[in-house]
Amino acid sequence: MTPPRSAAEYRQAILKFGSRSYTRSILHGYIYRFLVELLRDNDADLARKFPNLDHYEIAHVTKYDATTPSPPSYVRGHAYLSNSQFLIEQEISITIQAEETVLWSDVGNRPLSQSLDFHRFIAHLTACSKTGFSSIRFIPPSLVGRDSDVCDDALPFLPSLHPTSNDPSLIQSATHLPHEHHLLVDPTIAALDPMYALTPIFAFAAATENEILGTVSKRYELISSTRWDPKHSVDYMEQLILHKHLLDEHAFRHEEVLRFLAQEDFVRFESNLSPEHAVIARKAKQSLKEDFEFLLHRCNILSTRHDGAMNNLVGLTALGEARKQIRLATQVTKLTVLATVFLPLSFCTSIFGMNFVELVGLRVWVWGLVTVLVGGVTVVGYAWDERGVWVEGVRRLWARRGGGSEGA
């Protein structure tokens, strides 16, 4: 059995590799905070003030080596989760080669402007970029509450313009993992089982994904419980469709992760472990499997609920349009009845008015009689198309009276 590495040796082995395969790390934050971090000035002045704009890091997950500068990190996917929250995603690489653990490295190489635009994201950034201070900075939050024993230089970042301000909406990042990784796993087991060594990365992604699903779920509950308003129906439908696509994409990603975790090649690593260590590694990997199975199940449930919400929204919209048509038809019916009464009167008045001289000898009751006769003919003609309804009504009335007489 290969002797276990020390923590320092193990960490050096981790930092040595990192450029193949891939999974994704989810980065989660607040859209207004993102605007503060990225674009706070006129777009025309950005290139002049920041000639190396493409090299600024929004957030990164990288193999850390003090002698090598960190590569730029570019956002790959982004979307609104609500009016105040957004989602950005990065591709990272994970490779297991022989019995060496190859850890995560950002493999992005395209700028934000070429990232997938889900929801008018770039246009919104442009519209909001002319206010506030000119500041592009990266702040790595400490997500693990213990300081690392490895005394390396901190990852580079630009200091805050307001260091004393309360800033609770920091973008969530995995930059703590290279520093704290040896504290999150047993170095003795991780040196012999690379799959066990990767459990903190998958656990971080699973925890963040669970947070994202919670945000999507809250937004769904808000939309589904809100009284239908035609003014907001389009916005609600766009959000539901967007979240539906995100949920389906994430569900597919979780299936890929589960297939990755289920590979039989990883079982052979446990043969190098003692029985006690093998149990620990197996439990850690089984816990990851259960986490991603839960996330997959939750994605599928939320996706189904979004389908139902979209169908309900379409139905409510159609019902609203149907109500409009019914009101319009009622108004047209009223106008028709009014015209039915008005036209005979207008006709008779016109006839008698135009021939006033010729008909001067007639009495006024003649005009009334003619008007009544013409009106009666008009009503009969109007009711002729509805004769079926009248006949059916008379039959029902006759049947009721006949039934009442027989009963008496």
What is the C-alpha to C-alpha distance for residues 5 and 13, in angstroms, rounded to an integer? 9
The pLDDT of residue 148 is: 28
pLDDT (tens digit per residue) in 370-384:
777 777 777 776 666
The pLDDT of residue 174 is: 56
Q: Which sign does the torsion angle of CA 201, 207, 213, 216 carry?
A: negative
pLDDT (tens digit per residue) in 352-370:
666 656 666 666 677 777 7
Name the residue with tokens 């006709």: 347
Q: Do 26 and 38 meet the contact criterion of CB atoms below 8 Å apart?
A: no
What is the C-alpha to C-alpha distance for residues 248 and 334, in angstroms, rounded to an integer? 51
Tell me the pTM: 0.54
Contacts of 260 (CB under 8 A, 6+ apart): 23
The pLDDT of residue 187 is: 74
What is the C-alpha to C-alpha distance for residues 338 and 312, in angstroms, rounded to an integer? 39
Burial of 352 (0-12, 13-18, 19+ CB in 10 A): middle
The pLDDT of residue 41 is: 40
Name the residue with tokens 């395209």: 110
From first to last of the 408 residues of the chain, give the pLDDT tens digit: 444 444 444 444 434 432 223 333 444 443 333 333 343 444 445 445 545 434 433 333 333 333 444 334 434 455 656 555 666 665 554 544 444 433 333 333 333 344 333 333 334 444 544 433 222 222 222 222 222 233 333 333 334 444 444 333 344 555 556 556 667 778 778 777 777 877 887 887 888 788 888 888 888 888 887 776 777 777 788 778 888 888 888 888 888 888 888 877 777 778 888 889 899 988 998 999 999 999 999 999 999 999 988 888 888 777 777 888 888 888 888 787 777 777 777 777 777 666 656 666 666 677 777 777 777 777 776 666 666 666 677 777 777 776 555 544
Domain map (residue ranges) of the chain: 1-184, 188-343
The angle formed by the CA atoms of residues 380, 381 and 385, to the nearest 5 degrees, is 105
* DSSP per-residue letters across 87-149: EEEEEEEEEEETTEEEEEEE---S-GGGSEESSSHHHHHHHTTTSS-----------SSS--S
Considering all CA atoms of the chain, what is the largest pairwise distance in Å, rounded to the nearest integer? 131
Q: Do 91 and 107 meet the contact criterion of CB atoms below 8 Å apart?
A: yes
Supply 135's token pair. 């500041």
The pLDDT of residue 385 is: 63
Q: How far apart are the first and last CA of the chain?
A: 106
The pLDDT of residue 81 is: 64
Name the residue with tokens 């990755």: 260
Q: How many CA atoms lie within 13 A of 348 on its CB side?
A: 19
